[in-house]
Amino acid sequence: MSKAKQTARAIRVAVIGAGMSGVLAAIRLRQQGLDFVVFEKANRVGGTWRENTYPGLACDVPAHWYTYSFARNPEWGSLLAAGPEIFDYFQRMSRQFDVEQKIRFGDEVMKLEYLDGRWTVTTASGHQDRFDVVIAATGVLHHPNIPKFDGLETFKGAVFHSARWDHDVPVDGKRIGVVGTGSTAAQITAALVPRASKFTLFQRTAQWVMPRPNIVYSEDEKATFRADPAALERLVQQYRTRTIEGYATAVLDYDSPELAEIQRLCSENLATVRDPELRARLTPGYRAACKRLVISSEFYPAIQQPNAELVTAGIQRIESEGVRTDDGVLHELDLLVLATGFHTDRFVRPAKVYGRGGIDLDKVWADAPVAYLAVTVPEFPNFFMLGGPNSPVGNFSLIEVCEHQLAYILRLIDGLSAGDYGEVSATQAALDRFETERQEAAKRTVWVTGCNSWYLDKQGVPASWTFTYGRFVDEMATPKMHDFETR
By beta-carbon proximity to ligand NAP, the closer residue of 59 and 109 is 59
Binding mask of the shown chain, residues 249 to 288, with x at each position contacting ligand NAP by CB under 6 A: ----------------------------------------
**Distance, CA of 164 to CA of 183 (rounded, Å):** 16
Among 42, 108, 111, 147, binds ligand NAP (CB under 6 A): 147
Stretch of residues binding ligand NAP (CB under 6 A), selected from 105-113, 115-123, 184-192, 228-236: 184-192
Exactly one of 53, 205, 307, 316 binds ligand NAP (CB under 6 A); that residue is 205
Write down the least CB distance from residue 78 to ligand NAP, Å.
13
Report 293-322 residues binding ligand NAP (CB under 6 A): 315
Q: How many residues bind ligand NAP (CB under 6 A)?
A: 25
424 - beta bridge partners? 486
Q: Is residue 339 close enough to count as binding ligand NAP by CB under 6 A?
A: yes
Residue nearer to ligand NAP on the CB measure, 201 or 353: 201
Q: Does 180 bind ligand NAP (CB under 6 A)?
A: yes
190/339 with CB nearer ligand NAP:
339
190 is a site residue for ligand NAP (CB under 6 A) = no
Contact flag: residue 61 with ligand NAP (CB under 6 A): yes
The residue among 206 and 410 lying less far from ligand NAP, judged by its C-beta, is: 206
390 binds ligand NAP (CB under 6 A): no
Nearest approach, Cβ of residue 42 and ligand NAP (Å): 19
Judged by CB under 6 A, which of 452, 470, 474, 480 binds ligand NAP? Answer: 452
Kindly indicate which of the ranges 212-220, 338-346, 403-411, 461-469 contains the residues binding ligand NAP, using the contact rule CB under 6 A: 338-346
CB of 148 to ligand NAP, least distance (A): 8
* Residue in 79, 103, 159, 179 binding ligand NAP, rule: CB under 6 A: 179
> Is the preceding peptide bond at 350 cis, omega within 30 degrees of 0?
yes
Residue 185 in the binding site for ligand NAP (CB under 6 A): yes
Q: Is 204 in the site for ligand NAP (CB under 6 A)?
A: yes
CB of 217 to ligand NAP, least distance (A): 18
- Euclidean distance between CA atoms 382 and 486, whole angstroms: 10
3 state SS for the chain: CCCCCCCCCCCEEEEECCCHHHHHHHHHHHHCCCEEEEEECCCCCCCHHHHCCCCCCECCCCCCCCCCCCCCCCCCCECCCEHHHHHHHHHHHHHHCCCHHHEEECCCEEEEEEECCEEEEEECCCCEEEECEEEECCCCCCEECCCCCCCHHHCCCEEEEHHHCCCCCCCCCCEEEEECCCHHHHHHHHHHCCCCCEEEEECCCCCCEECCCCCECCHHHHHHHHHCHHHHHHHHHHHHHHHHHHHHHHCCCCCCHHHHHHHHHHHHHHCCCCCHHHHHHCCCCCCCCCCCCEECCCHHHHHCCCCEEEECCCEEEECCCEEEECCCCEEECCEEEECCCEECCCCCCCCEEECHHHCEHHHHCCCCCCCECCCECCCCCCEEECCCCCCCCCCCCHHHHHHHHHHHHHHHHHHHHHCCCCCEEECHHHHHHHHHHHHHHHCCCHHHCCCCCCCECCCCCECCCCCCHHHHHHHHHCCCHHHEEEC
Q: For residues 376 and 391, give the distance between their C-alpha atoms in angstroms, rounded to a whole number.
A: 11
Q: Which of residues 3-22 bind ligand NAP (CB under 6 A)?
A: none
CA distance 399 to 391: 12
Near ligand NAP by CB under 6 A: residue from 28, 292, 324, 438: 292
Choose between 147 and 211: whose C-beta lies nearer to ligand NAP.
Answer: 147
Q: What are residue 308's DSSP bridge partners? A: 199
Choice between 181 and 445, CB closer to ligand NAP: 181
Contact pattern from residue 126 through residue 145 relative to ligand NAP, giving x for each residue in contact according to CB under 6 A and a dash for the rest: ---------------x----
Q: Kindly tell me which residue out of 74, 182, 387, 388 binds ligand NAP, with binding defined by CB under 6 A.
A: 182
Q: Pick one of 40, 60, 319, 475: the residue that binds ligand NAP (CB under 6 A).
A: 60
Q: Is 375 in the site for ligand NAP (CB under 6 A)?
A: no
Residue whose CB is less far from ligand NAP, 60 or 400 = 60
The answer to the question of residue 200 lying near ligand NAP (CB under 6 A) is no
Contact 244, 229 (CB under 8 A): no
Q: Looking at 22, 47, 341, 378, which residue binds ligand NAP (CB under 6 A)?
A: 341
Residue 371: other Cβ atoms inside 10 A = 24
| Cβ(419)–Cβ(6) below 8 Å | yes
Taking the complex as a whole, how short is the minimal distance between the CB of residue 46 and ligand NAP, in angstroms? 15
Binding interface with ligand NAP (CB under 6 A)? 58-61, 141, 147, 162, 179-185, 187, 204-205, 292, 315, 339-342, 452, 454
